[in-house]
Amino acid sequence: MAVETATYSLEGLQERLAEHRKCFDSLVELIPAKYYLARDDDAPTGKYMHNKKNKAPKQVVKEATKKAKKAKLDPENVKSVLDIQTETLATSEAAQEDGGEPASADDVDHMEGLAPLPTGSIVELQEKLKSRIQELRTKRKAPTGTVDGEAPKSRQEILEKRAKRKRERKEGIKQKKEKRRKLDDTKGMAIDGPSKMDTKANGGSKAIKEDVTFGKLDFGIAEVAKKRKGPTDLTGQLKQAEAKKQKLEKLKQVDKEKAETIEEAAVWNKLLKQAEGEKVKDDLKLLKKSVKRKEKSKEKSATTWSNRQAQVKKEQEERQKKREENLKARQEARNAPKGSKGKKDKGKKPRPGFEGGVRKKGGKP
């Protein structure tokens, strides 16, 4: 059996080597650089080693770290193993030409990880920090100690500033309470009284000022203070609602626009009262039904009470009659002669024992 032997020719050797190299390079590129390239992790980390990073200001280090993170996430800055090796080789060759030592891969990787710190003196950094603090204070609208915007320099200025803020806060609370008290006092509406809505309608169309104060709405409607509360019983409320309706009907015949304005104001007033949790009873139909229901309940209660009184009176009469009969029978029994008592039945045997049996003469007791 003949064995076939592979024959290699020198023709196309460079092409084959280039293909093999390309294949190996593609495999190497699949491996992350931090796993492929070795690092010198055995560097001494004693307490006597100087940490140059801590000597730099914290703000500068923080900004440099942020820039390094952003640069690390930039896809253009991501380099493969081959790119790093190429750069390392070029750096080492350049160092050899200059007469120095070649740079290692760790040095190149370290230079890629961190951005260079900005150069500057301590005075410049302090000025930059002060300007940044002032910018942040201006942005958050921090209160200043003096008129020209400077911060308070002494404890006395700080105390005066604090006392002033306290007085202003108390004054604001006092004004809010006074405004709320006025709104509470002027709540309500009189049908016959003048209203701001009428003056605005006659004087021209003006914008109604809307103001929200402690859950209450001010729609520009004049509200006259209530001197006394209305009736609490249903009948009185029904009479009051009927009287208001009659007045409104009469006003419609005289001035229809004014009547509509007052009616609209009454609707708003009712909504405001309901929003505050107050029950408004001004519906004539419901009031009439409630009054009718109450009258029926009263009639039923009166009927029940009269029946109960009649029953009690009847029972008293029966007890009195029975008592009189008992007294009469007792009196008759007392006045009857003694011999008229009925004789005992002799045929009945006495019960055993000493219960008053007849004793024979000479017998044992």
Give yes or no for residue 310 having a pLDDT over 50.
Answer: yes
Residue 145 lies in a domain: yes
Look up the pTM and report it. Answer: 0.26
**Would you state the pLDDT for residue 12?**
80
**Would you state the pLDDT for residue 364?**
54
Residue 254 lies in a domain: yes
Give yes or no for residue 308 having a pLDDT over 90.
Answer: yes
* Residue predicted with more confidence, 8 or 338: 338
Same domain, 24 and 88: yes
Give yes or no for residue 133 having a pLDDT over 80.
Answer: yes
Give yes or no for residue 203 having a pLDDT over 70.
Answer: no
Same domain, 212 and 161: no
The total number of structural domains in the chain stands at 3
Residue 21: domain span: 16-38+53-122
Residue 24 lies in a domain: yes
Domain finish residue from 282, 309, 343: 282
Q: Which of 109-123, 283-297, 326-340 has the lowest mean pLDDT?
A: 109-123
Tokens linked to 287: 């009031």
Same domain, 76 and 30: yes
Residue 3 lies in a domain: no
Same domain, 261 and 165: no
Residue 306 lies in a domain: no
Same domain, 159 and 190: no
Tokens linked to 264: 């609209």
Side chain identity, residue 101: E
Query: How far is residue 154's CA from residue 147's CA, in Å, rounded to a whole number?
Result: 15
Mean pLDDT of 213-233: 55
Residue 363 lies in a domain: no
Same domain, 204 and 271: yes
Q: How do residues 319-331 score in pLDDT, each as one tens digit?
A: 999 999 999 999 9
Residue 256 lies in a domain: yes
With a pLDDT cut of 70, the percent of the chain lying above it is 61
Q: Is 223 exposed, middle or buried (0-12, 13-18, 19+ CB in 10 A)?
A: buried
Torsion, Cα 39 70 28 82, to 10 degrees, reads -80
Average per-residue pLDDT in the chain? 73
**Would you state the pLDDT for residue 119?**
54
HSE-CB for 246 with a 13 A CA cutoff: 6
Q: How do residues 100-113 score in pLDDT, each as one tens digit?
A: 555 554 554 544 44
Same domain, 118 and 146: no
Give yes or no for residue 363 having a pLDDT over 70.
Answer: no
